[in-house]
Amino acid sequence: MPEIVPNPWRLQAQAQQVRSDTVIGILALQGSFWEHEAMLLRLGVGVREVRLPEHLDGLAGLIIPGGESTTMGKLAVEFGLMEPLRAFGREKAMWGTCAGAIFLSKDARRDQPLLGLMNITVERNAFGRQVASFEADIPVPALKVVAPDDERPFHAIFIRAPLIETVEPPAEVLARLPDGRIVAAQQGRLLATSFHPELTDDDRFHRYFLHLAQRAPAAA
């Protein structure tokens, strides 16, 4: 069994009245999954930490958090999650942030376990080490679906971030930096972001993912 790390928001989850029948899973093998939990709880969404294949049952969608993509992949192999995750991603919504975007990709320019679900090629640590982390305001027109009156760019936080080098159909570019480099992509109900929306107070990306998770499969 993977190590169970105490979750500081679990008591909050138990105390909060969840307003939605939707339950979103968060891959909790490694990485910054607690921050995603906090954002979803704030939106009144049910949350389940996923560490074993059976934890995927009944979920509307799954978030793969930031962390270390190689470690994440090795743990997914060790706990028999690779094929269940691939099957889940073929049928339901899945969102990878930072390391999670690498894990979703078909190619990360090195030998490591990947789900290969999205037609994107990703360069790891493309912006340098952690000291080179940065923030940027980026336009994301797709967020108008959930916030039609919100004209703000999205304030994106990049921490040892990957770069989405190529996007091939049926995947499409969702957001770019001002210099044109790709930092978000979508393929049906699959979503990849180089940055960390869970580290901001802006819940539009999480609401957009919920929109994808609740969308009928035929519309994916």
Domain extent listing, the chain: 10-219
Average model confidence (pLDDT) for the chain?
Answer: 87
DSSP letter string over 148-217? TT--PPEEEEESS--EEEEE-TT-EEEEE-TTS-EEEEEETTEEEESS-GGGSS--HHHHHHHHHHHS-G
36 belongs to the catalytic site = no
Q: Which residues contact 11 (CB under 8 A, 6 or more apart)?
A: none
Entry field: residues in the chain: 220
Look at residue 126 in the predicted model and tell me its pLDDT: 57
Please, which pLDDT band fits residue 127 given cuts at 50, 70 and 90? low
Average pLDDT over residues 121-132: 66
| pLDDT for position 128 | 55
**In 52-137, which ranges are continuous DSSP H helix?**
69-78, 82-91, 99-104
Residue corresponding to tokens 């490694």:
30
In this structure, the strands spanning 134-138 and 154-158 are antiparallel
How confident is the model at residue 123, as a pLDDT? Answer: 87
- Using 50, 70 and 90 to split pLDDT, how confident is the model at 159? confident
Query: What pLDDT, on the 0 to 100 scale, is given for residue 9?
Result: 41
Tokens of 45: 């969404």
196 is catalytic: yes
Distance CA 129, CA 147 (A): 34
Instruction: Give the three-state DSSP class for 116.
Output: coil
> Out of 40-44, 52-56, 85-89, 109-113, which region has the weakest mean confidence (pLDDT)?
109-113
User: Which of these, 122, 95, 116, lies nearest to 196 by C-alpha position?
Assistant: 95
Q: How many contiguous H segments (helices) and E segments (strands) does the chain have?
A: 6, 12
- How much is the pLDDT for 13? 42
82 with 113: CB under 8 angstroms?
yes
- pLDDT tens digits, residue range 42-58? 999 999 999 999 999 99
Say what the pLDDT of residue 125 is: 66
Work out the average pLDDT over 148-169.
Answer: 93
The backbone torsions φ and ψ at residue 135, rounded to the nearest 5 degrees and listed phi first, read -130, 150
Question: Quick one: 10-219 is in which CATH superfamily?
Answer: Class I glutamine amidotransferase (GATase) domain (3.40.50.880)
Q: Mean pLDDT across the stretch 139-165? A: 94
- Of 35, 37, 49, 198, catalytic: 198
Token pair belonging to 86? 């691939």
Active site residue 155: no
Task: Out of 98, 135, 168, 211, pick the active-site residue.
Answer: 98
> Is pLDDT above 80 for 62?
yes
Dihedral sign from CA coordinates of 207, 135, 113, 187: positive
Residues 6+ apart with CB under 8 A from 136: 155, 156, 158, 177, 178
- Active-site residue among 36, 55, 196, 206? 196
Q: How far apart, in whole angstroms, are the C-alpha atoms of residue 220 and residue 215?
A: 7
Mean pLDDT to the nearest integer, 28-52: 92
Whether 15 has a pLDDT exceeding 50, the answer reads: no
